[in-house]
Homo-oligomer: A and B are copies of this chain.
């Protein structure tokens, strides 16, 4: 993949985890080059092999996080919240203006040994705004993908059936809304400015609680109704 097209590639840091691997599979199916990042290159390479085995012909490769982040304009952070800041710090030196960093972290209290369906207070307001405080000038941070079920992403035989609320500056927000549309039955909904990540992150905690009360192995999702492009 030395000839990877950086403008169409999608880097997924933490792409070895359930949600990251699910996104990697879905973007590979959609024909986009996928660059998987991990703290250890060999684990990223293993995940790339896994994607290739499920999506023959996929353009996919694995690298250590910073080596992955330089290979795509869009860099999705799919690491647990407790590793979000350290991951951003590990790649910030290689980020350049024009790149889009997508934060899908949810600051669950479980990160510090607390309840799985509670969120922590973040000084900046949300995990996404924390990330925005750490990236170089000219790099946009977008909040998205928090509430999509890993189980549904990984089951390529099924549509995902979920709305993704996308927040951040207008132009990069539009690009990530378009990205959502590459995955069957996934829809990006314009969630306004990045500060609204505060709401979307806490909504994910609410969905986790609903999953637990209803014992939903596939995970609850969310749909906004009343939009002009509602799925029928």
| Number of A residues with CB within 8 Å of any CB on chain B | 34
How distant is A188 from chain B, measured CB to nearest CB, in Å?
12
* A87 contacts across to B, CB distance below 8 A: none
Stretch at the interface among A1-9, A50-58, A134-142, A215-223: A215-223
Q: In the complex the two chains form, what is the Cα distance from A218 to B117 in whole Å?
A: 32
Q: Judge whether B214 and A190 touch: CB under 8 Å.
A: yes
Q: In the complex the two chains form, what is the Cα distance from A198 to B202 in whole Å?
A: 9
Most buried by B among A221, A224, A225: A225
Q: Judge whether A192 and B205 touch: CB under 8 Å.
A: no
How distant is A115 from chain B, measured CB to nearest CB, in Å?
10
Task: Determine if A111 is an interface residue (Cβ-Cβ < 8 Å).
Answer: no
Q: Which of B149, B199, B213, B218 lies in contact with A206, CB distance below 8 A? A: B199
Task: Determine if A200 is an interface residue (Cβ-Cβ < 8 Å).
Answer: yes
**With contacts A200-B206, A203-B203, A210-B189 known, is A216 near B220, CB below 8 A?**
no
Question: Main secondary structure on chain A at its contact with chain B?
Answer: mixed
Q: Judge whether B199 and A205 touch: CB under 8 Å.
A: yes
The number of times this chain is found in the oligomer is 2
Q: In the complex the two chains form, what is the Cα distance from A52 to B214 in whole Å?
A: 39
* A226 contacts across to B, CB distance below 8 A: 149, 161, 216, 218-221
Task: Determine if A209 is an interface residue (Cβ-Cβ < 8 Å).
Answer: yes
Task: Determine if A168 is an interface residue (Cβ-Cβ < 8 Å).
Answer: no
How distant is A195 from chain B, measured CB to nearest CB, in Å?
8
Most buried by B among A117, A209, A219: A209
Task: Determine if A196 is an interface residue (Cβ-Cβ < 8 Å).
Answer: yes
Task: Determine if A76 is an interface residue (Cβ-Cβ < 8 Å).
Answer: no
How distant is A180 from chain B, measured CB to nearest CB, in Å?
15
Q: In the complex the two chains form, what is the Cα distance from A165 to B206 in whole Å?
A: 10
**With contacts A117-B192, A192-B209, A210-B191 known, is A222 near B225, CB below 8 A?**
yes
* A213 contacts across to B, CB distance below 8 A: 190, 192
